[in-house]
Amino acid sequence: MLPSRRTILIFAGVILASLLLVYGASLRNDFVRFDDGLLIYDNPAIRFINLHTLKTIVTTYDPELYIPLTLFVYQILYQIAGTTAFPYHLALLLLHAGNSILAMAFLSLLSRSRSAAWVGALLFALHPLQVEAVAWASALKDQLATMLYLAALLAFLAFRTSSRRSTYVASVLFCLFGLLSKVTVITMPLILVLIDIREGRKWWTWSSLSEKVPFFLLSIVFGIIALYGKTEVLGTSSPLSIVLMGAHSVIFVLQKIFVPYGFSVLYPFTGSTGFDSLKLILSFLAVIAVTITVWLARKQHRDLCFGWLFFLVTIAPTFTNLAKAGELYSASDRYASFPVIGVFFLLGTLWSTFDDRLSHVGGQWLRGCTVVLLTVLGWLSFQQSLVWRDTESLFRNVLRFYPHSYAAHNNLANVHRRRGNLDAAVAELLLALQGADHAKIHGNLGAVYVKKGMFREAEAQFAKAIQLDPRSAEPYLGLGLLYAQEGDHEKAYAAYANALEKNPRYDQVLLNRGALLFDDGRIDDAIADDRSAIAIEPLFAQAHYNLAIALLSQGKTDEALAEYEEVAAIQPTFLQARMNLGILLAKLGRLADARRQFEAILKLNPGNAAATSALEQIDRAEGKLHH
């Protein structure tokens, strides 16, 4: 049975109080430039909720994952908070609290022991392995998927008890919504089979399998959808390396559970990924040995079998994510945030068994030690949550444990570049190249050299990037920007053409080539490139802006006005676009509409002299009209 309402309320109070103590300070954290821009503050698809943006989130990847429900929740949060980080962090904290309560209910149904459920759920709530999924705004998909996965499991177990059709339908719907949040919910039908095995049910009978058919169908459909988003990643990894790295990841996560130290947003893996890697082979043999052992002992030790297989099955879909951008990673904390329920279920049941067998004094010692352990875990989570304060803090923590991580140096270089500290950016990129001779790093170094005016050095870096990755379009874009800045337009056009040959849907190339065509007076060609960029990315604000300027230069006022209005709708903070829109509206005599644009600019930038001057001119014009 589910815990009583009183038990749930007491546990909820304990969880909320504990998590506020642990994560309260981190609610002030900023966004980090590690997917937060891609999903939130630079994502035009979440800025408004309308048919166009809803179509976008339903028909696109992120770019690898299909997560339309997650993006819809981001849309809601953006309407409330815009680009203020606090509400996003608060939403994640509340979701984690809710997930901890759901985990307690789920563990209570499985173990039929309140103490086992409480211990397991408190470990789930407070363990520092969960920090990434709570403190990172981009981890909303993980928290949503966990919530809906647990809700689906609870609804299904309720259906088993009551045979009420409504709870069965609810379970299927929760599973569907979970898959729309993140595809890792794909493992649910296998978990339902594991529950049957644990309870001694004949899972292979038609009556048992038939009730799981909708879940299997959903998993198959979303598995196919997921494969389309992962084609590039899967193309760079062999089945052997995926299996061996997956086994290594399982052992790595278990180490983090029992030795909670050295947490990092990146865990770079170096070395071979084949049979010549002793570390991977030993990990693989260990996982196989444990799995066979617990399976053979499933009748005598059903909790052990269920807990281990729950952990293994739910973490398995993440094995394809261990290779990213040419670098291998041992694990990622958020990938384990749901699977650890299996391990904590085992620890909770083990705790309950000891508690029942110990004397009164022994039981008190056990409870006291448990409180101390949970306090230590909470303190470690508090410390780790502050690592997510900002981008620099996040990647300096990576270098603390992995000083040769080229990805960390590359991200720190981007931090310095955005601050205008170009020398520091160069230094970080040179350190990154010591870790890996990677095309992306050479391209970034070339971009920094362009900003420093070191054009020949930049050209050499782009050439090296092309040599290392001939299929990449990015170095050609860098060369195009370099040649355009030097005034060599013919070379720039050639570089842009090469980039589009590599990637015909590279909207940034079309945008920049369009700008160059406009400068050369080839307005029709510039308009064609701008329209092509918009066809690829309808929410590309800069392309709409450039198109508006080009149309206006041809006297196409109505079309230009529509494009400026589109920019204001897509990116309200694009001040120059709103300024141009206001000026155009004023010229057309639409003074009230123009006033609204200039007032909007002053709300975003109270000291904007141009907007202030424009409003004064409108006041004078309206005064003359009234006079």
Contacts of 99 (CB under 8 A, 6+ apart): 124, 143, 146, 147, 150
The pLDDT value recorded for residue 602 is: 93
CB 79 within 8 A of CB 50: no
Q: Is the pLDDT of residue 422 over 60?
A: yes
Banded pLDDT at 233 (limits 50, 70, 90): low
Comparing C-alpha atoms, which of 25, 150, 139, 5 is closest to residue 74? 139
Domain ranges of the chain: 5-392, 394-571, 573-627
Q: Sign of torsion, CA 502 506 510 513?
A: negative
The pLDDT value recorded for residue 95 is: 97
Give the DSSP H or E segment for 36: helix 36-36
The pLDDT value recorded for residue 127 is: 98
User: Cβ–Cβ contacts within 10 Å for residue 205, how many?
Assistant: 10
Pick the CATH number of 573-627 from 1.25.40, 3.30.750, 1.10.287, 1.10.10: 1.25.40
Report the mean per-residue pLDDT for the chain: 92
Q: Kindly give the residue spans of alpha helices, DSSP state H, lying in 402-556.
A: 406-419, 422-435, 439-451, 455-468, 474-486, 489-502, 507-519, 523-536, 541-553
Do the domains 573-627 and 394-571 match in fold? yes
Banded pLDDT at 325 (limits 50, 70, 90): low
CB 384 within 8 A of CB 263: yes
Helix (H, G, I), strand (E, B) or coil at 269: strand
At residue 619, what is the residue type?
Answer: D
Measured CA to CA, the distance from residue 276 to residue 433 in angstroms comes to 26
Contacts of 435 (CB under 8 A, 6+ apart): 404, 405, 406, 409
What is the separation, in whole angstroms, between the first and last Cα of the chain?
A: 79
CB 542 within 8 A of CB 42: no
Contacts of 347 (CB under 8 A, 6+ apart): 119, 120, 123
The pLDDT value recorded for residue 232 is: 61
Q: Kindly give the residue spans of alpha helices, DSSP state H, lying in 206-336.
A: 206-210, 213-229, 231-235, 239-258, 278-296, 302-315
* Residue with token string 């949040």: 181
The more confident residue out of 51 and 577 is 577
Measured CA to CA, the distance from residue 526 to residue 546 in angstroms comes to 9
Measured CA to CA, the distance from residue 455 to residue 336 in angstroms comes to 45
**Stated pTM of the model:** 0.90
The pLDDT value recorded for residue 627 is: 47
The pLDDT value recorded for residue 1 is: 65
What's the CA dihedral at 348, 351, 356, 358 to 10 degrees?
-170
CB 539 within 8 A of CB 570: yes
Tell me the fold of 394-571: 1.25.40
Could you give the percent of the chain with pLDDT greater than 90? 78
Q: Sign of torsion, CA 158 159 165 168?
A: positive
Among 327-331, 429-433, 551-555, 576-580, which is the least confidently predicted range? 327-331
Helix (H, G, I), strand (E, B) or coil at 54: helix
* pLDDT tens readout for residues 443-476: 999 999 999 999 999 999 999 999 999 999 999 9
The pLDDT value recorded for residue 539 is: 87
Q: Is the pLDDT of residue 237 over 80?
A: no
Measured CA to CA, the distance from residue 11 to residue 6 in angstroms comes to 9
Could you give the percent of the chain with pLDDT greater than 70? 98
Q: Is the pLDDT of residue 359 over 90?
A: no
Banded pLDDT at 494 (limits 50, 70, 90): very high
Structure tokens at 98: 């809710």
The pLDDT value recorded for residue 357 is: 86
Mean pLDDT of 261-290: 91
The pLDDT value recorded for residue 625 is: 54
Among 82-96, 128-142, 272-286, 406-420, which is the least confidently predicted range? 272-286
Q: Is the pLDDT of residue 626 over 60?
A: no
Mean pLDDT of 208-236: 84
Q: Kindly give the residue spans of alpha helices, DSSP state H, lying in 358-390.
A: 360-387
CB 314 within 8 A of CB 249: no
Mean pLDDT of 114-136: 96
Return the exposure string of 44-63: e unless at least 16 CB atoms fall within 10 Å of the residue's CB, then b: bbbbbeeeebbebbeeeebe
At residue 558, what is the residue type?
Answer: D
Banded pLDDT at 576 (limits 50, 70, 90): very high
CB 258 within 8 A of CB 218: no
CB 518 within 8 A of CB 526: yes
Q: Is the pLDDT of residue 574 over 70?
A: yes
Structure tokens at 369: 């030690």
What's the CA dihedral at 181, 186, 192, 197 to 10 degrees?
-140
Mean pLDDT of 562-584: 92
The pLDDT value recorded for residue 235 is: 56
Measured CA to CA, the distance from residue 350 to residue 456 in angstroms comes to 66
